[in-house]
Structure 1
Amino acid sequence: MSTAASVQTRTAGSAGFHLNRRGRFLFVGFPVIVLAVLAAAAAVFFGAHGMAPAAASDDQPVAAVETITVNYGDTLWAIAGRTAPDSPRNEAILRIGELNDLDGGELQPGQVLFVPAGS
């Protein structure tokens, strides 16, 4: 009876298998990494294509802009007066700041700015 018990124990023990660290990574970690990369790629793909029609839609009017090069001594006040003489200068300065992502009023000679097109 001890031989039959040992045969059954060996059979039951050999029926299951044990994975080492590399095997666990291969069956668990690697698929998780692949799924994460695919999910990130899908998010980038659908995110970029999801925003593209909104940016290119005809629903929003596109304001005309021009580029100017800042000269020595130029200020936003003076540039706003030259480029948009019919609109209030404060509004023109704010618009120039938005178009160029300016944090302050400091300008450098040679800097290229987007300004609203003059009327």
Structure 2
Amino acid sequence: MNTNLYVVGLSHERANQEVRSKYSITDKNIIQLLQEAKDKGIDSLVVLSTCNRTEIIGYVPHPYKIIELFCKYTKGNIEELTSYAYIYKQDDAITHLFELAAGIKSQILGDYEIIRQLKNA
């Protein structure tokens, strides 16, 4: 199966707090989401859920697999998620992750709290 690196996410850049809260994933749901992904043959997946963003990062054949899991384990739906979400593939996904880790994508430019959050994810 041919897979690509995808990032599917929702952040303060495109969605207000009310919308972001619908797509926050609890620690319990992260564990369940990762187990379901593994059961479906998706071994490389990371879930980042903070107050400013929720992202699922992984190697999948198509981003829809991530979108399905995203919505199943949150209070949102696919239609709303796709209207606010960003989807990055391959090189764009890598660039996004480096910018995120550097604090460029933080609400407070240069905030390095995201490094700890990424490590924990």
TM-score (norm 2): 0.23
Which is strand-richer, 1 or 2?
Answer: 2
Higher relative contact order, chain-length normalized (CA < 8 Å, sep 6+): 2
Give the greater-gyration-radius structure (CA). Answer: 1
TM-score (norm 1): 0.23
